């Protein structure tokens, strides 16, 4: 084999290695399934909120949720889901302060939370979210849940937490240009951390519980 042939073979091997790595990453995190896509695009202006009263709903609410791949996060499908979740939780029929993927039928690690700790108290969407740390400073407060109608109870929660999530800031530009190539793969969505305290921290804990199949009624004192 001459030098030119050897170089070509090495380039091809590197390309196949990169393609395999990119594909493996997406499969590990998970793209939207066909059923999930149908649920997202068949919804009109809001999504149906699952409740513990229906056995089939309860099965979803009690299941673990999984991350979305970068390709899913950068898709129009994710944008549509995020918009629907915010529209659902803010709808007069719900009037909530937070909602999680399982509550609208998707076992995905995504929540929409009202940030009472920010100016204007906006609703923000957090995909692939986890709580990395919770303080030992605890307080008991009243909680309710869109998926547990007509009930409230006292729950003990940490007053400060550190969350980690996929940062979609700037993804608007990425949607035209985020697929900047980095070693042959789409540029990954960065993971960032945030320290949250007070009532907003309580909301995050409530919603992240949903992603682990836990309901606030499991924590009633």
105 and 39, same domain (yes or no): yes
Same domain for 162 and 66: yes
Q: Are residues 96 and 170 in the same domain?
A: yes
Q: Residue 138: which CATH number?
A: 3.90.45.10
SS (H, E, C) the chain: CCHHHHHHHHHHHHHHHHHHHHHHHHHHHCCCCHHHHHHHHHCCCCCCCCCCCCHHHHHHHCCCCECCCHHHHCCHHHHHHHHHHHHHHHCCCCCCCEEEHHHHCCCECEEEEECCCCCCCCEEEEECCEEEEECCCEEEEEEEECCEEEEEEEEEEECEEEEEEECCCCHHHHHHHCCCEECCEECCCCEEEEEEEHHHHHHHHHHHHHHCCCCHHHHEC
Structural domain boundaries, residue 126: 31-219
Q: Verify that 19 and 38 share a domain, yes or no.
A: no
107 & 155 share domain: yes
Whole-number pLDDT of residue 188: 82
Answer yes or no: do 22 and 42 share one domain.
Answer: no
Q: Are residues 95 and 53 in the same domain?
A: yes
User: Per residue in 157-195, pLDDT tens?
Assistant: 999 999 999 998 865 444 443 333 333 455 589 999 999
Q: Which residue has the higher pLDDT, 121 or 28?
A: 121
How many structural domains is the chain composed of? 2
Same domain for 14 and 85? no
Same structural domain, 72 and 179: yes
Which of 124, 143, 164, 207 is labelled catalytic? 207
Model confidence over 109-141: pLDDT tens digits? 999 999 999 999 999 999 999 999 999 999 999
Q: Are residues 12 and 116 located together in one domain of the fold?
A: no
Q: Does residue 163 sit in the same domain as residue 201? A: yes
Active site residue 207: yes
Check whether residue 60 and residue 153 sit in a common domain: yes
């Amino acid at each position: 084999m001459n030098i030119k042939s050897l170089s070509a073979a090495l380039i091809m091997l590197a390309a196949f290695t990169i393609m395999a790595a990119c594909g493996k990453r997406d499969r590990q995190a998970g793209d939207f399934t066909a059923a999930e896509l149908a649920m997202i695009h068949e919804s009109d202006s809001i999504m149906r909120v699952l409740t513990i009263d229906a056995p089939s709903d309860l099965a979803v609410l009690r299941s673990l949720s999984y991350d979305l791949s970068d390709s899913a996060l950068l898709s129009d499908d994710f944008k549509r889901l995020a918009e629907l979740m915010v529209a659902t939780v803010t709808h007069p029929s719900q009037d909530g302060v937070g909602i999680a993927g399982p509550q609208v039928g998707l076992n995905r690690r995504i929540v929409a939370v009202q940030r009472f700790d920010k100016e204007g108290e906006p609703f923000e969407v957090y995909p692939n979210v986890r709580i990395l740390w919770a303080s030992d400073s605890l307080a008991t407060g009243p909680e309710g849940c869109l998926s547990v109608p007509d009930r409230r109870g006292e729950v003990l929660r940490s007053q400060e937490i550190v969350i980690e999530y996929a940062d979609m800031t700037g993804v608007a530009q990425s949607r035209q240009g985020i697929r900047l190539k980095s070693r042959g793969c789409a540029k990954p969505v960065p993971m960032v951390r945030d320290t949250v305290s007070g009532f907003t921290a309580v909301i995050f804990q409530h919603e992240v519980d949903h992603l682990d199949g836990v309901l606030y009624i499991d924590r009633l004192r």
